[in-house]
Amino acid sequence: MSFSSKKGKDTFAKNIVLAIIIFFIIINLLFLTQKSYMINYLGVDSKGLVIDVDSTHEGYYKYQFNYKIRLKNGEKVKISEGNYKKKTHQIGEAVNVKTYKKDSEFSTPSPNLYMAVPLLCILGIFTRIYFVFRKSS
C-alpha cells in the first residue's frame, strides 16, 4: 500500500516539475522574442527630428500616436505608440531612435539581456530535477 502511495507522490512531483519547466520555457520565449526588445538590443542608434504626429482615438482613453521622424542621414521612419499613453513627443523635438531590419522604435531602456541567463539556469535546474524523478521511478 505504501508503494502505490509513494508512486502517486512521485508522479505528482514529476508533473509539477514538468509544469515549471514548461512555464520557464514560455517565459524565455516571450522575453527573447518581443519585437521592441530585439530592436532595442540589436538596433542601430540614430538621432532624428519629429516632423509629423498623427493620432487616432481608439476608444475610452485609448490613443494611437504615429510619429514620422527624419533621421540625420535623411531617412524617414515611422514609429507608433499607443494604448493609454499620452503624447510623449512634439513636432520639432530631437529624439533617439533605434532601427533594426526596417523596424523602428524610440530608444528606451529595455530589460537586461542578462535576465535570460538566470531564467535559463533555473530552467536547467528544474529539467535536471525532472530527469532525476523520472529515473528514480
**What are the domain boundaries of the chain?**
2-136
Who's near 126: CB < 8 A, 6+ residues apart? 17, 20, 21, 24
pLDDT at 107: 76
Q: Provide the residue type at 55 as one letter.
A: S
Q: In what order do the strands lie in the sheet with 76-82?
A: 76-82, 62-71, 44-59, 94-100, 103-106
pLDDT digits over 56-78, tens only?
777 777 788 888 989 888 888 88
pLDDT at 112: 60
Q: How far is residue 39 from each of residues 28, 100, 108, 109, measured CA to CA in Å?
A: 17, 5, 10, 11
Return averaged pLDDT per consecutive 10 residues of the chain, 137 residues in all: 60 82 79 72 82 78 84 85 71 85 74 69 83 75
Q: How far is residue 91 from each of residues 55, 60, 75, 88, measured CA to CA in Å?
A: 13, 25, 17, 11
0.85 exceeded by pTM: no
